[in-house]
Amino acid sequence: MTTRLIVWRHGNTDWNATHRVQGQTDVPLNDLGRQQAVDAAELLVRLRPTALVASDLSRAADTAAALAALTGLSVTYDERLRERSFGQWQGLTMTKVAVTRPVEYARWVAGADVVGGDVETLDDLGKRVAEGLQDAADLVSPGGTVVVATHGGSARSGIGQLLGWPREQLRTLRALQNCHWAELTHDDERGWQLGSYNVGPFGERPVPPPV
């Protein structure tokens, strides 16, 4: 039997809209983000999820709440699913980071760990998020579907860790758009596999599980 894991990025925030580094700052959804969560939930409910897990930051928790309202499921919160900690970058626009912390910014653009600024390493990020994703998947019986509401950077790194991808391969994945998701499946023979990526209300539509 195959377990399905949906890794869902939260809806839009004012800091997303202004390209400001959120990291683990608890920035709420804006009006657009709340509508995106409702629109996405109307699609995700068709997958008949049996468990719902979210980062405890409000932008992810409130995104999950839109699906909880349609499914009747309660949400389990897990701080391991939080966004990457960006330390001293948090609250700055990326333009400001590039100007005031150019060496750190250059390493970030190159996909290397940022040295300085108290930015969480990619290995630490991937490991903690993957542990949270695996524990979320373990909540459902084989054949079940769990939806996890998380963040863009944490989603990509956690997925890469589950799949065993090297950092160079992970960089080929574009970031999830707001309120879009990735679908992974797991079975005992093949382990974790990536089924689809960047699915959402304005693009590819999800495929319901077989009856």
161: domain range? 3-85+120-199
pTM of the model: 0.93
Q: What is the mean pLDDT of the chain?
A: 94
pLDDT tens digits, one per residue of 6-64:
999 999 999 999 999 999 999 999 999 999 999 999 999 999 999 999 999 999 999 99
The CATH number covering residue 153 comes to: 3.40.50.1240
pLDDT of 28 reads 98
DSSP string, the chain: --EEEEEEE---BHHHHTTB--TTS-PPB-HHHHHHHHHHHHHHGGG--SEEEE-SSHHHHHHHHHHHHHH-PPEEE-GGGSPPP-GGGTTSBHHHHHHHSHHHHHHHHTTPPP-STTPPPHHHHHHHHHHHHHHHHTTS-TT-EEEEEE-HHHHHHHHHHHHT--HHHHTTSPPPPTT-EEEEEEETTTEEEEEEEEE-TTSPPPPPPP-
**Binding-site annotation: residue ranges for substrate:** 9-16, 59
The number of distinct structural domains making up the chain is: 1
User: Is residue 90 a part of any domain in this protein?
Assistant: no
Catalytic residue IDs: 10, 83
